[in-house]
Structure 1
């Protein structure tokens, strides 16, 4: 089911499936998020939890193999709307299923603050054992977001000179993602933004506090660019606790991360 909220600057649509952002439009009706064309990439802005990335060899718990796909569980499950107002939506998921040994509760809050869309995800470990967790955002920004433009008319601007080559600008070009993902670790920039070269219009994602930030699209830049702040990263082996950035969450404790998207339109 789809739910909407808006203020003077932004209009947002959220799906109960995964509590996923489905659409974000500016006051001038600029569409900011990828439209999830299934033949290209069938998502808008999923959340990755309780792990980020692929588990290509599967993993095991207590010596037993556990089925696992890409980017965790929560993006594929139905969440329940538990709070709604003109500028705030809160969803809840309680999971105690066969594909993850630790029961957990997961809440997602989307809130509008002027030209900012703030998404906060909070997990609670409902099991009697420590639970390994990673959390990441996988927001697909529409590129181009101005009709009639091309992806080559855009760049990724860093707050500080931390793009490849120690500069503050990464130009976008169709071959950029032929080798898949650009992974950036240990950034000190508070934000990265997808920016229109000649106008300065931009979609800014705040990434402060995240040890990993990924840039991803498909070869040819077919209409989107993902800027992905992750708390953890992929790693070798079948033990999730060995993956970089994994946190062992004690029973009854919470793990929370926030993403802020600013529309500079």
Structure 2
């Protein structure tokens, strides 16, 4: 089920499926959509959250307590129905309660996703609480897909990804987009000293800015040719070899009763 909130600048829709952002539009005549539209034959998602792990797991399974569990890509909270627990003109809060089982994930946890509007800024905070009686390995990643080109009348080569880097001469670094950029898959940046990343329209200076909040990993991803979207993905962890989730790069062992939160913020300047 879809729920909408809005202010003077933006209209935002989110889905109970995964608590996922579904639409972000700049108000105007006509409105300007920012998120990818989930075209099924290209990429059917829009802005999923990756939890309890990010990326793939070797051979598609992990082991816990001598039991093998199947493991798809990017965890499974994105594939489950969440419950809307709070709604206002500027805030949507979704919650998932996972009891733990012997088929998918043996730990019990709760997971809340809160979307908040602040003028031209959209803030999403995800919070996991370990409800089981033993440490739970977790990674958390955001996977928003943005329309690219933002203006369908402009060529892809008019767009670039700009990083805020203090050591660069002008304080930023520009990464031009090319159709062949993702022919070999995603690009991963580790220990990137940047507090934000922008998808920028080079001629006009218009942009979508993603605040990273110290994420140790940043991925850029699209399909070969960049067929209408670009994903900017801050992750807390990354895939690694083997079947022990607690040994993956960047993993957090969340103690019983403890909580773990991460935030992504989108600023729209269009």
- 3-state DSSP class of the match of 2:162? strand
Q: Is the 8 A contact 1:188 1:208 kept in 2?
A: no
Distance in structure 2 (CA, Å) of the matches to 1:24 and 1:149: 20
Q: Is the 8 A contact 2:149 2:155 kept in 1?
A: yes
Distance in structure 2 (CA, Å) of the matches to 1:122 and 1:84: 17
The reply on whether 1:236 has 2:210 as its aligned counterpart is: no
Q: Is the 8 A contact 1:162 1:187 kept in 2?
A: no
Distance in structure 1 (CA, Å) of the matches to 2:133 and 2:58: 28
Distance in structure 2 (CA, Å) of the matches to 1:115 and 1:137: 19
1:104 to 85, 103, 109: 109
* Number of residue pairs matched by the alignment: 263
Question: Displacement, 1:208?
Answer: 2.7
What pairs up with 1:14-53 in 2 under 5 angstroms?
Answer: 14-28=14-28, 29-53=31-55
The reply on whether 1:118 has 2:85 as its aligned counterpart is: no
Give per-residue Cα distances to partners, 1:192-221, cap 9 Å, x unaligned.
000001001100000131000000000000
Q: Match of 2:147?
A: 142
Q: Is the 8 A contact 2:164 2:172 kept in 1?
A: no
Q: Structure 2: which 5+ runs fail to align?
A: none
Question: Displacement, 1:111?
Answer: 0.3
Runs (4 or more) in structure 1 with deviation over 6 Å come to none
The reply on whether 1:59 has 2:72 as its aligned counterpart is: no
Name whichever of 123-132 and 27-36 sits farther off. Answer: 27-36
Distance in structure 2 (CA, Å) of the matches to 1:31 and 1:67: 36
- 3-state DSSP class of the match of 1:75? helix
Q: Is the 8 A contact 1:162 1:168 kept in 2?
A: no
- 3-state DSSP class of the match of 2:58? coil
Q: Match of 2:82?
A: 79
Say if 1:114 and 1:41 are closer, same or farther in 2 by CA, change over 3 A. Answer: same
Q: TM-score, normalised by structure 1?
A: 0.97
